[in-house]
Amino acid sequence: MCMPKIALVTGANKGIGYEIAAQLAGLGMTVLLAARDPDRGMKAAETLRSTGCDAHPITLDVTLPATASAAATKIARQLGRLDVLINNAGISGSLSQQPPGTASLDTVRAVFDTNVFGVITVTNAMLPLLMRSPAPRIVNVSSSVGSLTAHSPSGPMAWLPGSAAYATSKTALNALTVQYAKELREAGVLVNAADPGGCDTDLTRPTGFPVHRTAAQGAAIAVRLATLGPDGPTGGFFNDDGPVPW
């Protein structure tokens, strides 16, 4: 009998994370919606369950390692393994505090704490559980804003103001993706970075930057990378159209 796959999505109480959880659950997976606020996580999981999905909340603040180990312990006890980890939780940080020449180090640190160090915290807490899966997949939700190529004078991100926090955190996340993929290749863990494209969420709304996609559209690439077959790529950076330049 085919056991349902088990997926954990961080920052799953809203936005792209919620849509990733909904789409994975729609494929028949058991989905753990990780949220730093237990009430928000519970409400999101209830909403998904009301549509017939196997969805459960789990409390996890990616900047608090104790919550990641507690979540891993709970999953080990209740489910025994994890097949898919989606590192989605992310913050943009105050835009006015990240132009490189005047950047607030506190803002840069806070953004890296969530978008980069949080990914290491959660991934390492969940790795022993992923190693018990016959086909483990890790997806890091990155951004084309992290593409160095895209910021060249003729690149698609050339118009964006310089950023020492959000953009650099996603570049670092891409680098981390490559290094995890390298380490875990032999073990059969496929690790990739997803670029959702500009989506209308609480993260982008305050910026006033133009976005043309829904959170559900942004979720699709992460779902595709979470469901790669054994010959799928690892250590790559993809959007809906294929590889994104580093």
Does position 75 interact with ligand NAP (CB under 6 A)? The reply is no
According to DSSP, the residues that pair with 137 across neighbouring strands are 84, 190
CB 196 within 8 A of CB 208: no
Residues 176-195 that bind ligand NAP (CB under 6 A): none
CB 103 within 8 A of CB 58: no
CB of 13 to ligand NAP, least distance (A): 5
Q: Which is nearer to ligand NAP, 103 or 216 (CB)?
A: 216
Q: Which is nearer to ligand NAP, 126 or 199 (CB)?
A: 199
Q: How far apart, in whole angstroms, are the C-alpha atoms of residue 233 and residue 190? A: 7
Q: Amino acid letter at 30?
A: T
**Per the structure block, which two tokens stand in for 236?**
């790559």
Which of 121, 123, 174, 201 is close enough to bind ligand NAP by CB under 6 A?
Answer: 201
Q: How far apart, in whole angstroms, are the C-alpha atoms of residue 140 and residue 178? A: 11
Choose one: 78-86, 94-102, 201-209, 230-238; the region binding ligand NAP (CB under 6 A).
201-209
Give the CA distances from residue 148 to residues 113, 170, 172, 180, in Å, rounded to whole numbers and listed in that order.
21, 10, 11, 20
Does position 62 interact with ligand NAP (CB under 6 A)? The reply is yes
170 is catalytic: yes
5, 170, 180, 182: the catalytic one is 170
Does position 198 interact with ligand NAP (CB under 6 A)? The reply is yes
For ligand NAP, what does the binding mask look like between residues 140 and 179, x meaning CB under 6 A?
Answer: -x-x------------------------------------
Ranges of beta strands (E only) in 5-90 are 6-9, 30-35, 55-59, 84-87
CB 18 within 8 A of CB 215: yes
CB of 211 to ligand NAP, least distance (A): 5
Contact residues toward ligand NAP (CB under 6 A) are: 10-11, 13-17, 36-37, 40, 61-63, 88-91, 114, 118, 141, 143, 196, 198-199, 201-204, 211, 215, 218
Active-site residue numbers? 166, 170
